[in-house]
């Protein structure tokens, strides 16, 4: 079945898809190279990939296999040098910078290994940031932020700054922040990487439970095999390439 993919900036491309199921994320022959000094490092080397809407997919692989880069490319943090990436109606690989920012702001939620909270803001203010960037009304965004903090079990810590929170608490705040704009796609890069196993398990539970509840498509880069077991699909990368991995039934 052919699917016509439209870029919000205009123009259209046709992609042949071998599956009859509508795919949310489509990557076609994506390449991305870093320069490290005089050496070129192929972080992503010719990846073709489709991910269904609403699925929880894990990216597994050793360090340097290209997991984070792939997430960044799909999330619009980096732009691939070759190939096409489309996410739903967004032709991510071709979006101009302002549209790319809008895509990240309204469509994608990020959870990072290092939490990446803004140190001068409190927990509730950190959660609010995506809505601040969209110009949402202060009262409404504060109410939503508090509700999300309550959902992640941190209502009592709303007024604390990141340096006053534990690692697990900071990641909970980051999860709440990732969800406040009601994204259709959630990208998590090693969300439990800086946490102990117990805390990590709690975060995984929170992340997957909340996203499944909301019908989010989730893409998680992780070393955590326990997390991978709970995903709908596992993809393994090595040296920037996808290894053949059967999808979970």
Partner 1 sequence: MRGADYLAYTWRNISRAQLRLLLTVAAVVIGATLVVVMTSVGGGIQRNVLEDIRSAGGLNEILVSGSFGAPPGAAGSASGVLGDSAIESIADIPGVVAVLPEIVLPFGLTQLTYDDLTAQLLVAGVPPDRTAPYGFTASRGSVAPGSGQVVLGAGVAERFFDANRQRATPPDLFGQTVTLVTQRFGGGPSGPPQAAPGFGAPAAPGFGAAPSQPQRHEVPLTVVGVLAPSGTQDDYTAWVDVDTVLDILQWLTGRRPDPASSGYQALRVKTASVDQVRPVQQAIAALDFQATSPLSVQDDVNRGMLVLQALLAAIGLVALIVSGLGVANTMLMAAFERTREIGILKALGATEGQIARLFLFEASFIGLLGALVGLALGWLLTQVINAIVLSYLAGSLGAAPGPPRAVLHTPGWVPAAVIVMAWLVAVAAGLYPALRASRLDIARALRAD
Terminal CA-CA length for the chain: 23
Stretch that binds partner 1, among 134-142, 149-157, 193-201, 230-238 (CB under 8 A): 134-142
Least Å from the CB of residue 133 to partner 1: 5
Q: Which one of residues 135, 215, 244, 246 is an interface residue with partner 1 (CB under 8 A)?
A: 135
Burial class (CB in 10 A: 0-12, 13-18, 19+), 187: buried
Binding to partner 1 by residue 139, rule CB under 8 A?
A: no
Burial class (CB in 10 A: 0-12, 13-18, 19+), 138: exposed
User: Using CB under 8 A as the criterion, what x/- string covers residues 184-213 for binding partner 1?
Assistant: ------------------------------
Least Å from the CB of residue 16 to partner 1: 31
Q: 17 or 41: whose CB is closer to partner 1? A: 41
Inter-CA distances, 94 with 69, 84, 132, Å: 17, 8, 26
How many Å apart are CA 1 and CA 214, to the nearest integer?
A: 28
Q: 149 or 202: whose CB is closer to partner 1? A: 149
Stretch that binds partner 1, among 15-23, 130-138, 148-156, 217-225 (CB under 8 A): 130-138
Q: Which one of residues 10, 18, 98, 246 is an interface residue with partner 1 (CB under 8 A)?
A: 98
- Enumerate residues 6-65 that contact partner 1 by CB under 8 A: none
What is the residue whose two structure tokens read 């997430």? 71
Stretch that binds partner 1, among 21-29, 101-109, 208-216, 225-233 (CB under 8 A): 101-109
Cα-Cα-Cα-Cα dihedral sign, residues 215, 88, 95, 99: negative
- 8 Å CB contact between 196 and 218: no
How many Å apart are CA 138 and CA 157, to the nearest integer?
A: 19
Binding to partner 1 by residue 72, rule CB under 8 A?
A: yes
Binding to partner 1 by residue 214, rule CB under 8 A?
A: no
**20: alpha, beta or left, given left = phi > 0 and alpha = psi -120 to 50?**
alpha
Binding residues vs partner 1 (CB under 8 A): 72, 75, 77-78, 97-98, 101-106, 110, 112, 114, 116-121, 129-130, 132-135, 138, 177, 181
């Amino acid at each position: 079945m052919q699917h016509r993919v439209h870029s919000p900036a205009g123009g259209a491309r046709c992609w042949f898809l071998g599956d009859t199921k509508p795919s949310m994320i489509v990557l076609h022959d994506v390449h991305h190279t870093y320069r490290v000094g005089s050496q070129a490092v192929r972080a992503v080397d010719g990846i073709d990939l489709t991910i269904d809407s609403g699925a929880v997919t894990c990216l597994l692989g050793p360090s340097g296999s290209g997991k984070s880069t792939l997430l960044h490319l799909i999330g619009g943090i980096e732009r691939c040098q070759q190939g096409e990436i489309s996410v739903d109606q967004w032709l991510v690989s071709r979006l101009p910078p302002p549209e790319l920012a809008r895509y990240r702001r309204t469509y994608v939620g990020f959870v990072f290994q290092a939490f990446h909270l803004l140190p001068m803001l409190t927990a509730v203010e950190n959660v609010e940031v995506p809505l601040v960037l969209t110009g949402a009304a202060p009262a409404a965004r504060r109410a939503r932020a508090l509700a999300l903090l309550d959902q992640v079990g941190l209502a009592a810590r709303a007024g604390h700054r990141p340096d006053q929170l534990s690692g697990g608490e900071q990641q909970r705040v980051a999860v709440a922040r990732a969800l406040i704009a009601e994204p259709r796609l959630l990208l998590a890069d090693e969300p439990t990487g800086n946490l102990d196993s117990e805390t990590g398990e709690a975060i995984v539970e929170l992340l997957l439970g909340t996203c499944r509840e909301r019908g989010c498509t989730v893409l998680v880069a992780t070393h955590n095999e326990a997390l991978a077991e709970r995903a709908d699909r596992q993809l393994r990368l090595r040296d920037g390439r996808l290894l053949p991995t059967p999808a979970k039934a």
